[in-house]
Amino acid sequence: MRYVDLSTGTQYMGNPTMFESVSRYLMTNDQFTDTLFEWSRPLKASVVIGANQNVYSELNLDYIKQNHIQITRRAGGGGAVYVDSGNLTYAFVDTDDGTNYMNFKKYATPIINVLKKLGVNAALTGRNDLTVDGKKFSGMAAFKIGNRFYCGGTLMIDVNLDAADKALNPPKSKLASKGVKSVHSRVTNIRPYFSAKYQDISINDITEIILKEIFKTDTIKEIPTHVMTEIDWQKVNDITGHDYQDETWTMGKRYHDDNFHSNHYEGVGNVEISFSVNDGIVSHAKLFGDFNKANGNLKEIEDKIAGVPFEKDNLEEAFSHTHLADNIGNLTPAQMADLMVNPVYQQKQQEG
Amino acid sequence: MANPIDDSNYLWREETSEGHTRIGLNDEARNQIGQISYASFPKNLNEVKVGEEFFSFEGAKAVEDIHSPQSGKVARVNTELLDHPDYLNDADKEKNWIIELY
């Protein structure tokens, strides 16, 4: 096992998706075949949104612009998160041996051990959340390329929670009535839970304790380390440039549809549909959401809904051929038809 | 009472993989009607009965209303025809289909 030192890449780390790019590089480059550990802190505040989310309905774009917060879009699904220099992002890159991929407990354990030393009674809750006192301070994620995978998470230590709350809530908060906003109120920074002795510990000192725990040593210098070289960074930058820095990819196209309907489904997430109806026929439909289906194909659904009469029965028949379980999650055709025809789901979008 | 108008001579019908019946304009119709310049569907078309109008278009030689050869609920219509009525002149069934019923 080796520690990958990213401190040589300060000039590149301004982009919040750079950490994901580094991870992809460590997963796919032939020179790395062992278990690796890396960590990073975002230099600037940014919002990272999921692959299928609609920035115009998820974010407060005015607030984000005024406060110079960056927006980037990750390749995977899931919801929007706010990160700033109060976050500590860490990851393991490893080779699948049949027991370790998606084994969040294995990779969370050293982190939990360190937090316990600092006085935080942290626990792995559900499949991949770290919580204290019932409040979430870390979400974990994993993804795989070939037989190599990434498993990591973000620790909220000194995050500006007020800014996070504002950036992630569009004006006329569309989700206030649906209980989704409360997700934000159930997150916390962990610093208030540190014991008195560690109240003022710096994030860098925390990472040193984490490294010592993971590598079972008292001396940082003894840790086998790969310091990222300029050549490494160039290759990482190539990955970033190709995948993540496209403005149209980040912002998405602004659709001027007549209708925008949204609802939260337990176990699936938010599902949103922007659509227009002409003379009783659906003329255009575009899906958004924070659901997480790695190989979900939303276009397959959108194409089959265009041209369908705007009536519950007809839409239900159409949705029954759209492989909802594979493309979005555990939703019935009737629920999707209802999302479109029932006006209670109508939401307003901000201009953008 | 008059029999329902039968336009089936001008239409092809095929079952789709989804079990819908897809209906489109056939070569016989194309030969008789000439270049098509306008197409429209009736408003709020969600169900049709045999002989009911489900589509109309203007060709060089005629203005025609098309009547359904069978009853059924409307699965979807080919909205591409509204912007591209000339697709009806194309022999490609992926272009000249009009409606799917279930």
Kindly state whether residues A160 and A180 are assigned to the same domain: yes
Alpha helices, H only, A37-87: 55-58, 61-66
Same structural domain for residues A155 and A30?
Answer: yes
**Torsion of the alpha carbons at A251, A254, A255 and A258, rounded to the nearest 10:** 120
pLDDT reported for residue A176: 42
Q: Which residues of chain A have pLDDT under 50?
A: 173-183
Tens of pLDDT, residue by residue over A231-270, are: 999 999 888 765 555 777 788 877 788 999 999 998 888 8
- Specify whether A333 is located in the same domain as A286: yes
Instruction: Using alpha carbons only, give the angle A239, A245, A251 rounded to the nearest 5 degrees.
Output: 140
Task: Round to whole Å and give the CA distance between A79 and A61.
Answer: 16
Q: Is residue B2 part of a domain?
A: no
Cα separation, A130 vs A126, whole angstroms = 9
Alpha carbon distance B4, B49 (integer Å): 10
pLDDT of residue A72: 85
Angle between helices A203-214 and A104-117 (to 10 degrees): 120
Count of CB atoms within 10 A of residue A333's CB? Answer: 16
d(CA A231, CA A31): 13
How large is the ipTM?
Answer: 0.91
In a domain, A330, yes or no: yes
In a domain, A179, yes or no: yes
Name the residue facing B79 among A304, A306, A321 (closest C-beta).
A306
pLDDT for the residue A169 = 81
Count of domains observed in chain A: 2
User: Are residues A11 and A129 both part of a single domain?
Assistant: yes
Locate the chain A residue with the closest alpha carbon to B46. A309
The CA distance from A91 to A113, in Å, is 16
CB neighbourhood size of A123 (10 A)? 15
Closest-CA residue of A relative to B101 is A314
pLDDT value of position A172: 58
Domain that holds residue B35: 8-101
Q: Confirm whether A240 is domain-assigned.
A: yes
Largest CA distance in chain A: 73
The pLDDT of residue B61 is 84
**Which range marks the domain in which residue A43 is found?**
2-251
Q: Which tokens sit at A180?
A: 């989704």
Instruction: Give how many domains chain B has, as a whole number.
Output: 1
Query: Could you say which residues of chain B have pLDDT below 70?
Result: 1-2
Size of interface A-B (CB pairs under 8 A): 43
Q: What is the CATH number of the domain that holds A300?
A: 3.30.390.50
**Cβ contacts of B74 on chain A, cutoff 8 Å:** 308-309, 314
Our CA-based measurement puts residue B9 at a distance from the nearest CA of chain A, in whole angstroms, of: 25
Does A135 lie at the interface with B, CB-CB under 8 angstroms? no
Q: In whole angstroms, what is the distance from residue A323 CA to residue A328 CA?
A: 8
Cα separation, A304 vs A285, in Å, equals 9
A282 CA: distance to closest CA in chain B (Å): 9
Q: Do B45 and A311 touch (CB under 8 A)?
A: no
In a domain, A351, yes or no: no
The 8 Å CB, 24+ separation contacts for B94-97 are: B96/B24, B96/B25, B97/B22, B97/B23, B97/B24
> Could you give the CA distance from residue A308 to residue A279 in angstroms, rounded to a whole number?
11
**What percent of chain B is helix, strand and coil (3-state, nearest 5)?**
25, 40, 40
Same domain, A238 and A295: no
Q: Which of A284, A302, A321, A341 to mutate to test the interface with B (most CBs of B within 10 A)?
A: A321
Eight-state DSSP code of residue A251: H
Cβ of A280 within 8 Å of Cβ of B45? The answer is yes
What does the alpha-carbon distance between residue B6 and residue B4 come to, in Å, rounded to a whole number? Answer: 6
CATH code at B42?
2.40.50.100
| Strands of A123-125's sheet in order across | A123-125, A129-132, A135-145, A148-156, A87-95, A36-40, A2-5, A225-227
User: Are residues A247 and A263 located together in one domain of the fold?
Assistant: no
Beta strands in A121-242 (DSSP E): 123-125, 129-132, 135-145, 148-156, 225-227
Q: How far is B1 from chain A (nearest CA, A)?
A: 31
Which of B55, B79, B100 should we substitute to test contact with A (largest number of A Cβ atoms within 10 Å)? B79
Would the CB atoms of A280 and B79 count as touching at under 8 Å? no
Q: How many CB atoms lie within 10 A of CB A252?
A: 19
Of A279, A281, A317, which is closest to B102 when you measure between CB atoms? A317
Per-residue confidence (pLDDT) for residue A296, from 0 to 100: 83
Cβ-nearest to A307 among B44, B46, B77: B77
Dump pLDDT digits (tens) for A288-346.
Answer: 998 877 678 999 999 999 999 999 999 999 999 999 999 999 999 999 999 999 999 98
Per-window interface: A 268-327 vs B, CB < 8 A: 278-281, 283, 304, 306-309, 311, 313-314, 317-318, 321
Residue B65 DSSP SS3: strand
pTM for the complete prediction? 0.75
Residues A288 and A174 in one domain: no
